[in-house]
Amino acid sequence: MRLHAASASIVAAAVTAAATILAAPPAGGAVVAAHDSVVAQAVGRVVHLYRSPSALAPYRTMRNPTRVGAPLVFLVKERIAGWERVYLPVRPNGSTAWVRDREVDLSLDPYRVVVSLSRHELTVYDGSRVVHREPAGVGRSVLPTPTGTYYIVDLLAQPDPYGMYGPYAFGTSAFSNVLYSFGGGPGQIGIHGTNEPWALGSNVSHGCIRISNAGITLLARMLPLGTPVLIRP
């Protein structure tokens, strides 16, 4: 999937919407609600990735902003003093690394997106409360949508809001297990609108998750970057 960067105002909203700044791990006194996620946003031009907190040197770096101009964000999986274990927007799906606290700003995000492939349904939660639910088009049997825990990496606006991707698309940290390139992109799994609303609720895509144009417009203004995307069978 190859998409176009959203406007600065929409991106800014996606970064900050409903996110509360977190200054310390929960053990240090911060109050974290049961359903809140911790999101780490890069503060410098480079984030160093370590295989463990005891590693003597990083094994790779990631640049900020990303290749599409979005802020570099991570979903945090585990926390210890001075370090965050984060999910990475790279292959293989589910990859993680450790980053130093000093290289990221942390925030709490109450939202999460749950996609049920068998029910062809996308549900958005704010804490324990359902705030949006609708039918979704998902990958065909030969081009399946990968299951697992992922997160929203970037928000992209389309030049034609009535085109195949609708008005907006979220890029996620998931990648197709079948397609290693598609439409000029790296086979990244997106959540986007559609110009075929009659096909929602079925196995129709190359792996991306399609929802209504009204739905993706709503979510583009609601969900911060870093929001978890849980794709279930």
Whether 25 has a pLDDT exceeding 80, the answer reads: no
pLDDT band at 18 (very low <50, low <70, confident <90, very high): very low
pLDDT band at residue 8 using 50, 70 and 90 as cut-offs: very low
Provide mean pLDDT across the span 97-126. 98
**What is the predicted pLDDT for the residue at 140?**
97
Residue 69 region by backbone torsions, left for phi larger than 0, else alpha for psi between -120 and 50, else beta: left
Position 96: which residue type? T
Q: Residue 168 pLDDT more than 50?
A: yes
Q: Is a pLDDT exceeding 50 seen at residue 229?
A: yes
Cα distance between residue 168 and residue 164, in whole Å: 10
Distance, in Å, from the CA atom of 10 to the CA atom of 100, rounded to the nearest integer, reads: 28
pLDDT at 176 over 70: yes
Of the residues 4, 48, 192, 206, only one is catalytic, namely 192
Domains of the chain, CATH where assigned = 19-24+32-109 (2.30.30.40), 111-232 (2.40.440.10)
Burial 105-121 (b: 16+ CB within 10 A, else e): bbbbbbbbbbbebeebb
Distances (CA, A) of 66 to 26, 72, 138, 202: 29, 6, 26, 32
Tokens of 73: 């964000």
Q: Which H or E run includes 219?
A: helix 213-220
Q: Is the pLDDT of residue 28 over 50?
A: no
Q: Which of 189, 228, 226, 225 is nearest to 11 (CA)?
A: 225
pTM for the model: 0.89
What's the mean pLDDT in 155-173? 97
Band of residue 27 on the pLDDT scale cut at 50, 70, 90: very low
Place 14 in a pLDDT band, splitting at 50, 70 and 90: low
135-148 mean pLDDT: 97
pLDDT of residue 29: 42
208 labelled catalytic = yes
Q: Which of 35, 132, 206, 208 is catalytic?
A: 208
The answer to whether the CB of 15 falls within 8 A of the CB of 21 is no
Please, what is the average pLDDT of the chain?
90
Question: Who has greater pLDDT, 12 or 78?
Answer: 78
CA 207 to chain centre: 15
Contacts of 15 (CB under 8 A, 6+ apart): 41, 71, 73, 224, 225
